[in-house]
A and B are shown apart, each in its own frame.
Chain A
Amino acid sequence: MTSLDIDPSEILVRYNVKMEKAMTPEDAAAELYPKDELYRPIAEAIFEGEEDDVIEGLEKAIDAGKNPIALIDDALMVGMKVVTDLYDQGVIFLPNVMMSADAMLDGIDFCKEQSDEAPVSKGKVVCHVAEGDVHDIGKTIVAALLRANGYEVVDLGRDVPVDEVIEAVKAEKPIMLTGTALMTTTMYAFKAVNDRLLEAGLKVPFACGGGAVNQDFVTTYELGVYGEEAADAPKMADKIVAGAGISALKEEFHKH
C-alpha cells in the first residue's frame, strides 16, 4: 500500500468497542446461577454448552431424590434462562445460545427417559420455511431460540407445501406459527397460508421474517406479524402467552 494512512477516529466510530460492557460473560452468568448446590452445576453446564456435564449433574440430582420432570423447569430451564437473558442483554452471542440449547435438549431427553410423566411446555409453536424455499438457517435459529425459551417446537422443515402447514396447524393447535423465507418469490406462499388458515377459521398469529421478507409485505395479510430478528420469535410467543392478540403483536413488533 502507498504511504497514505489515516487516524480512523477522524472518520468512523467503533460503537461496539465503545459500548462493550465491562463485565465478562462468565462473571455475569455467575450472578444469575441458582444457589441450590444440585441445580447450580446443571445451570453452569448449560451455560458452557457441555452436554456430558449436564447429564452428570442431572444424574446426581436424581440420585439425590429430585423428580426428573421437575428438573426440566427447576434446573435446565433456569440454566437456559441465564443464557437467553445474557443474549438479550448483549453479553453473549448467538452461537453460545445454540450450544447451550443443544445441551439443554439433551438434558430434557435424559429427564424424559427417567420418568413416565410428560413435561408441560410454555406453549407449542409450529415452524416452517416457505414452499419453494430451501434456505433454512433462519428457521433453525428461530426454532432454537424458541426451545431455549421453553416452547415446544414442531419443526416442519424447509420447502413446506401450504397444505402441510395448514394440516399441521389443525393437528397441533399451536399458539403461534412461524414462516421464514429468503426469497421474494417464495415468500408469497405466506399469503396462501394466511388465506387458507382464515378459510379454516384458524386465527393463529403467523410470525414471518427472513431474507427479502419485509414489514410492508407481511402487513398485507391479516394474520401476519413481521419479525425483524430471529430473537423476536420468543418475545412474540411470550406476549401471546400473556394474552396479546394479533393486533397487539403488530403494534409492538412492526417497528417501521
Chain B
Amino acid sequence: MAINRYTKMAYGSADEMIFGKSKFPVKAGLGLEIGGGYTTPEVNYAPRPEAGASKEKLVKEYQRITTDIMNRMVQVGFPAVVLETEHVEQMTNNPTWGGEVAHAQKTIMEEFHDEYGIKCALRHTPGDIREDRDFLELRGDKFNTLMESFEEVASNGADLLSIETMGGKEVFDYSILRNDVPGMLYAIGCLGTMDMDFIWQEIASVAKKNNVVAAGDTDCSEANTAMFIAGGLLDKNLAHTLAIIARAISAPRSLAAYEAGAVGPGKDCGYENTIVKSIAGVPIAQEGKSSTCAHSDVMGNLVMQCCDLWSNESVEYHAEFGGTSVQCWSESLAYDCALMNTATATGKAKDLRDLFTLSDKYRDPQGYVLAYDNAYRVGEAIVKDGNDIYLRAKNAALKSIEIMEEGVAGKLELTRFEKGALADAKAALGALTDDQDTFMSDCMSKYKEEVKVFLPENYGL
C-alpha cells in the first residue's frame, strides 16, 4: 500500500472535536460503529503469569476473562464493549497460539451477541517481538513471525489489529536520559516514522485480505517511557516539559499508521491521539483515570475529551471484592461511557468535554498541551509540512513549546527547573537545520558513534 501523508486537518476547528464522534467512523466486529456517535468501553487485561505455561492454559484463561466481561456487561445493561488482547510474548512468537486465543474469545463474544444483541468487537495486539537480546531486529525473520501472528489472529476472529511498535527506541532511550531533544526528534520523528511506514503497510495488507480493521499504533515505547520517567509532580527524573515535547513529536509518528492504510481506532495508551484525531479524523481509544490499575498519570479526566473508546490500559486477571478484576474495571469504564453518551443524547456533550479538559488542563504541562484546543494547534503545525517527516516533527515540538510559553504567561504554573528545561529545548531545536537530509546525516554519524546498539539497517538506511 502507498503512503499518503496528511497535509490538512480533518476538522475545521478544535471545537468540532468531541468524544464518541469521529470524522471517519469505523464499523467493526458484531454491530459496532466506533466513533459513530457513542463511546464504548474497551477492556484490557493480562493473564495470570502462571497461565503462560502452555497454550491450553492460556486459551482457558482468555475464555474465563472474556466470559466474565461479557457477563458483567449484560448484567448491568451496557449496550456495547470492545475487548483488547495484548499478546504475551508466547502468543506472538507462536502465531497459532494467538490465533487459537482469538478464536476462543470471538466464539464466546458471538454467543453473547446472538443471545443478547450486545454490540462487541475484539482487538488483538501482537507484541513487537522484532528484537534479539542485544539489538532491535526490525526487518528479517522476526518481522516475518510477527506478520504470521497478525495473519493468524485476523483469520481467527480478531476484528481490530494493533501493535505498539518500537522503531527508534534504541536512540530514544539514550537521548531521553540525557535531555537530548534533537536525539528524541531523530528517534521518534524520523526513525519511528520510517519503521511505522514500513510495518503498517504490511499490517494494512493483512487486514484488507482478511476483511478486518487495521486499527492503529501508539508511541508507548518512547513517549510513554518519557511520561513514566517524568512521573508525578514531585519526581525528579525528567522535566515534564520535556515529556510533553516527546509526546508532541510522537503525534506525527503515530499518524504514520493512518498514512499507511490504518483507519482507527487508535490504541488506548497513545496520549498523542487527540492530536492524531484532529488531523486524521479517525476514532481513538484513550485511557486515563480508568487506567490507574496499570499506571498513574496527571491528566486522568482530560484524555476523555475526544475519546471514542475508553480503556483501562491493562489489569491482571484476579479476584477483587466486586468480582474479577476485569469485571470491576469493565463496569467502571462502561459507567463512564454511559455518562458521556448521556451528555451526547441531551445535547450537553461539549459542556462535559470542557469539564473533563478543565479539570486537568492546568495540572501539568502535559495536560496543558494535550487539551484539545492546544492539541489542535499542534496538529496544524504538523500538517503545515506534512510531507516532510523531520520538519513536521520539529514543528510539533516547537509548537508545544510555544503553547507552554503562552500558558506560563497565563494560568499554567511551572517550576524554574521546568522552565529551564523548556528554554534549553527551545534553544536546541532552534539551532537545528530545516533540511531533512542534513539532519538525518548528522544524526546518523552522532548516534552510530554514541549508541552502540543502533543499527541503521533496521530502518533501511
Contacts and interface: CB of A to CB of B under 8 A. Distances in A.
B8 interface: no
Interface stretch (A54-62, A183-191, A241-249): A183-191
B411 A93 contact: no
Nearest to A49: B178
Contacts of B14: 1
A5 interface: yes
B354 A140 contact: no
B177 A159 contact: no
A95 interface: yes
Nearest to A86: B236
A95 B131 CA distance: 26
Residue from A5, A96, A137 whose CB has the most chain B CB atoms within 10 Å: A137
B354 A8 contact: no
Given A1-B357, A1-B373, A94-B238, A12 B362 contact: yes
Residue from B179, B359, B417 whose CB has the most chain A CB atoms within 10 Å: B417
A244 B173 CA distance: 34
Contacts of B233: 14-16
Given A1-B14, A1-B372, A94-B237, A17 B411 contact: no
B415 interface: yes
Contacts of A94: 177, 229, 236-238
Interface in A131-151: 132, 134, 136-137, 140-141, 144
Interface in B176-199: 176-179
A126 B316 CA distance: 30
A20 B229 CA distance: 19
Interface residues of A, number: 42
Nearest to A89: B236
B15 A7 contact: no
A131 to B, nearest CB: 10
Interface in B224-262: 225, 229, 233-234, 236-239
A205 B361 CA distance: 44
A20 to B, nearest CB: 5
B379 to A, nearest CB: 15
Contacts of B225: 137
Interface string A9-46: 00110111101100010000000000000000000000
A83 B195 CA distance: 37
A64 interface: no
Interface of B: 14-15, 46-47, 49-50, 52, 88-89, 131, 133-134, 173, 176-179, 225, 229, 233-234, 236-239, 316, 350-351, 354-355, 357-359, 361-363, 371-373, 411, 413-418
5 contacts: A4-B358, A6-B362, A14-B363, A158-B133, A183-B88
Given A1-B357, A158-B133, A183-B88, 7 more contacts: A1-B15, A8-B362, A8-B411, A11-B359, A15-B234, A17-B414, A185-B52
